[in-house]
A and B are shown apart, each in its own frame.
Chain A
């Protein structure tokens, strides 16, 4: 440490550039609300439900 210890810390130009990057925090990119996504499993379940559902009742003949 510069004021307490014998060894004076040093920084390289890349350290300074890295510090600049750390200082200037960009806005977050992963912040949009969740959007509806097509769900293949949901589509299959819907199709299966349609297939096993009872057919439309017909009016009995008189």
Chain B
């Protein structure tokens, strides 16, 4: 697998998801993978975007086509999920994979999949909020409209640590991490949790500085949707 073409493919796929969210039609996963020069990299791109490929279905309530479900299942076959995560990175990957597999099972009407181990293993202590918030940012695909699960509950219980973390990333001018954290801020806002920062201002501030990378633009679109849905 070529890593750079995989990343490029993920950006292209995120752009297609954005288009579908803006009403340009369906994502067309099978068409996307067929358009990739290397099918393995194309399926890797599907794995990279993860559960976000289902956003048009969860947000706009569109049905999932059999072809799209087959592509996601094929991506999980070619790149098998981590069964026994040992490193922090593998733990993050296991939770992201679980979110994708869970969304696929829900939209396909299949049996729900079992969650990985304790969310504290992947997040670490919230007292160390700087490191904790970086892990939360890496798990941003779990923060989407209607999100639920052990990690979501754990993050929802720590609004102060999350806000400290997002302010730190903005002060560090790490707007990529800030966009991922903005999704969680939006989710907390949607859940009615009082926050010491204004989610709308945060999204505006980051939006002006993050650039046009489609995956980051998609993160901000999700955050904006979560905030505006509860405005």
B165 to nearest A CB, angstroms?
10
* A16 CB contacts on chain B under 8 angstroms: 79-80
Number of A-B contacts (CB under 8 A): 99
Some 6 contacts from A to B, beta carbons below 8 A apart, are: A2-B39, A3-B70, A23-B89, A25-B176, A27-B174, A28-B172
Q: Which residues of B contact A26 (CB under 8 A)?
A: 134
CB-CB under 8 A from A25, the residues of chain B are 137-138, 176-177, 180
Q: Which residue of A lies closest to B139 (CB)?
A: A24
Q: A3-B70, A21-B89, A27-B172 are in contact. List 7 more A-B contacts (CB 8 A).
A: A1-B43, A4-B33, A15-B1, A22-B48, A23-B96, A27-B169, A27-B174
Given A18-B3, A19-B1, check contact A5 B176 (CB 8 Å): no
Q: A9-B39, A11-B79, A27-B174 are in contact. Are A3 and B30 (CB under 8 A)?
A: yes
- Contact call B40/A3, Cβ cutoff below 8 A: no
Is A33 part of the binding interface, using a Cβ–Cβ cutoff of 8 Å?
Answer: yes
Chain A residues near B3: list those with CB within 8 A.
18, 22
A55 at the interface (CB under 8 A from B): no
CA distance A20 to B103 in the complex (A): 20
Is B93's CB within 8 Å of the partner chain A?
A: yes
Which B positions have Cβ atoms within 8 angstroms of A?
A: 1, 3, 6-7, 10, 30, 33-34, 36, 38-40, 42-44, 47-48, 50, 67, 70-71, 74, 77-80, 82, 88-90, 92-93, 96, 134, 137-138, 169, 172-174, 176-177, 180
Distance A1 CA – B174 CA, assembled complex (angstroms): 36
Query: B89 and A24: CB pair below 8 A?
Result: yes
